[in-house]
A and B are shown apart, each in its own frame.
Chain A
């Protein structure tokens, strides 16, 4: 394979920027263009629901790199102009403003788009949180209204609930699961998380979905649950999930499913790669397709894609990592923690809110979760790398 002379990266967040940086670090001297839908220079999203929403961070503190570092990268930034069409065979992207950008290699890093409730745009006081602009708008509203309903029992919804509670607001979380994050972390740890939130004074309305928003005179007044009950609210946050931002790729010639379908090299078609939240690729270690929505993957996959663009031909087989910070709890996960996995506490005690749990599936360790036990969690990560036999883990389990 010959080295391309130009690379266009569609998406200017963590994954997209990291591709550009990795290419330059590996000595790529060709033209690199970074196309972003938002008008901002690349910024970091994990702080949005926490430190930016609480006011502890100014928005500028989320910039991924100082402008001086971006200038040294020698990358052309085209910002505030969403991609609307890809011609995969011609390797050409058309943007909302009518630009036409062509390159030898195109990397797709368009991330996620949030799901919304039907008709939510009709009411002031209803928010989503994906961008820094969303976050500042939500913060401004939180500073005026005491009653907040968060529709959503996943990572984002619970982080927002924790931040809003920390701001002294009356917070209710509504969601269809029987425990927060149950589908991500399982029922056991989800139960610990539920207790954490209720101990902090958050009202949980679980096992029920939001049916519709209620409002008057243009502003939201509450949410109606599936059982007809109305929860009054001054502010409603809709955090009911997201989907890969692939709508613009219809008719591109790429295979689309739950993301952009790629091979084990994260290649979607000749000269086309995908990276980050939007990429569904074949994980050779697991023998199955995977799509990861986390910050660490954005960078690690970007490094793999950059190497493959430059001819390394390497499969991408990460041990994923994600974390969430809620109140004083730092919850860290390495590997995979399927909802139906067996769970064994191997350090600490959940009642003391300091523990490490190993997760096992099909006879071996697949993941480790730590709750305020940072070093011990990192040490147990090796079980995930090694795929330690689950029988051996049972012997490590701390009696509860």
Chain B
């Protein structure tokens, strides 16, 4: 799995950090910081949920590689 974040679309909700704190963090202004662009398998379910609930639709996943 490869994680891509769109900093322009990010609205700083922080839902991703709540769900997958090992993969996402936030700057002081709320914008996402991607900690791990290729997270290990045990985090995939949480990352998928983060991408799904992101209210800015700012997280995309490239899966299956």
Binding site for B on A (CB under 8 A): 18, 21-22, 25, 44, 46-47, 57, 61, 64-65, 69, 295-296, 299-300, 303, 321, 323, 325, 330, 332, 372, 374-375, 377-378, 381
Beta-carbon contact of B13 and A18 below 8 Å: no
B24 CB to closest chain A CB, in angstroms?
11
B18 CB to closest chain A CB, in angstroms?
7
Beta-carbon contact of B15 and A64 below 8 Å: no
Beta-carbon contact of A64 and B57 below 8 Å: yes
Contact status of A374 and B57, CB under 8 A, knowing A18-B52, A22-B52: no
Binding site for A on B (CB under 8 A): 8-9, 11-15, 17-18, 26, 28-30, 48, 52-53, 55-57, 60
A56 CB to closest chain B CB, in angstroms?
8
Contact status of A61 and B9, CB under 8 A, knowing A299-B53, A321-B15, A378-B14: yes
Beta-carbon contact of A296 and B9 below 8 Å: no
4 closest A-B pairs by CB: A374-B30, A295-B55, A378-B14, A296-B55
Beta-carbon contact of B52 and A299 below 8 Å: yes
How far is it, in angstroms, between the C-alpha of A296 and the C-alpha of B15 when the chains are bound? 9
Beta-carbon contact of B29 and A330 below 8 Å: yes
Beta-carbon contact of B13 and A332 below 8 Å: yes
B15 contacts across to A, CB distance below 8 A: 296, 321
Contact status of A300 and B53, CB under 8 A, knowing A374-B28, A375-B28: yes
Beta-carbon contact of B28 and A21 below 8 Å: no
Contact status of A299 and B14, CB under 8 A, knowing A330-B29, A374-B28, A374-B30: no
Contacting B57 at CB < 8 Å: which of A44, A303, A375, A378?
A44
Beta-carbon contact of A296 and B53 below 8 Å: yes
Question: Other than the known A65-B57, A374-B12, A378-B18, what 8 A-B pairs have Cβ atoms closer than 8 Å?
Answer: A25-B48, A69-B60, A303-B52, A321-B13, A323-B12, A330-B29, A378-B17, A378-B26
A368 CB to closest chain B CB, in angstroms?
12
Q: Which residue of A lies closest to B53 (CB)?
A: A299
Beta-carbon contact of B11 and A46 below 8 Å: yes
B8 CB to closest chain A CB, in angstroms?
8
B52 contacts across to A, CB distance below 8 A: 18, 21-22, 25, 299, 303
Greatest chain A CB density within 10 A among B11, B48, B60 is at B11
A330 contacts across to B, CB distance below 8 A: 12, 29-30
Beta-carbon contact of A299 and B55 below 8 Å: yes
A233 CB to closest chain B CB, in angstroms?
30
A64 contacts across to B, CB distance below 8 A: 57
Contact status of A46 and B55, CB under 8 A, knowing A296-B15, A378-B14: yes
How far is it, in angstroms, between the C-alpha of A332 and the C-alpha of B26 when the chains are bound? 14
B29 contacts across to A, CB distance below 8 A: 330, 372, 374
Beta-carbon contact of B48 and A323 below 8 Å: no
How far is it, in angstroms, between the C-alpha of A288 and the C-alpha of B58 when the chains are bound? 33
Beta-carbon contact of B28 and A323 below 8 Å: no
How far is it, in angstroms, between the C-alpha of A47 and the C-alpha of B11 when the chains are bound? 9
